[in-house]
């Protein structure tokens, strides 16, 4: 039986050595690496995107055009059927909000071009105005 214990001890020692090697590899991988280019370089020309900015230009965002909002009870929600009318807080002819990923960026009016709806931007919110709204 001592030979079986010796084999078990050898297996245990081998497993401990494998674990120590794996822990060392994880610790080495956890060190920060310089894999991203520094985008805070020198000042760029006015109106030009900073260096490396082109990399994010193809990232998709969700644009929402909001006609208006309303609150209704669950009872009234369950009673909605084909042809039901839901009253919104927006007024006819009032500019509609344009949101990008849920953030208001502009207002505009509805246009129809070749039987498709679109929106003509009439007022674009500046970054300074967006920050001012966040502070309210």
Q: Three-state SS string across the chain, please?
A: CHHHHHHHHHHHHHHHHHHHHHHHHHHHHCCCCCCCCCCCCCCCCCCCCCCCHHHHCCCCCCEEEECCCCCCCHHHHHCCCCCCCCCCCCCCCCCEEEEECCEEEEEEEEEEECCEEEEEEEEECCHHHHHHHHCC
pLDDT for residue 10: 72
Q: Is the pLDDT of residue 83 over 90?
A: yes
What residues form DSSP beta bridges with 113? 116
For the segment 45-80, what is each residue's pLDDT rounded down to a tens digit? Answer: 555 566 667 778 888 999 998 888 899 999 999 999
Give yes or no for a contact between 65 and 96, defined as CB atoms under 8 angstroms apart: yes
pLDDT for residue 41: 52
In percent, the amount of the chain with pLDDT more than 90 equals 19
Q: Is the pLDDT of residue 103 over 70?
A: yes
For the entire predicted model, the pTM comes to 0.51
CATH of domain 61-134: 2.30.330.10
């Amino acid at each position: 039986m001592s030979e079986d214990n010796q084999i078990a001890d050898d297996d245990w020692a081998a497993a401990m050595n494998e674990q120590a090697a794996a822990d060392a590899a994880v610790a080495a991988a956890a060190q920060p690496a310089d894999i991203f280019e520094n985008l805070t370089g020198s000042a760029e020309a006015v109106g030009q995107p900073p260096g490396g900015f082109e990399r994010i230009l193809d990232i998709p965002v969700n644009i929402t055009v909001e006609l208006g909002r309303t609150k209704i009870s669950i009872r009234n929600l369950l009673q909605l059927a084909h042809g039901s009318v839901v009253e919104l807080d927006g007024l006819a002819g009032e500019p509609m909000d344009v949101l990008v990923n849920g953030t208001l960026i502009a207002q505009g009016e509805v246009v129809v071009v070749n039987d498709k709806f679109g929106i003509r931007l009439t007022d674009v919110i500046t970054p300074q105005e967006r920050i001012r709204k966040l502070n309210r």
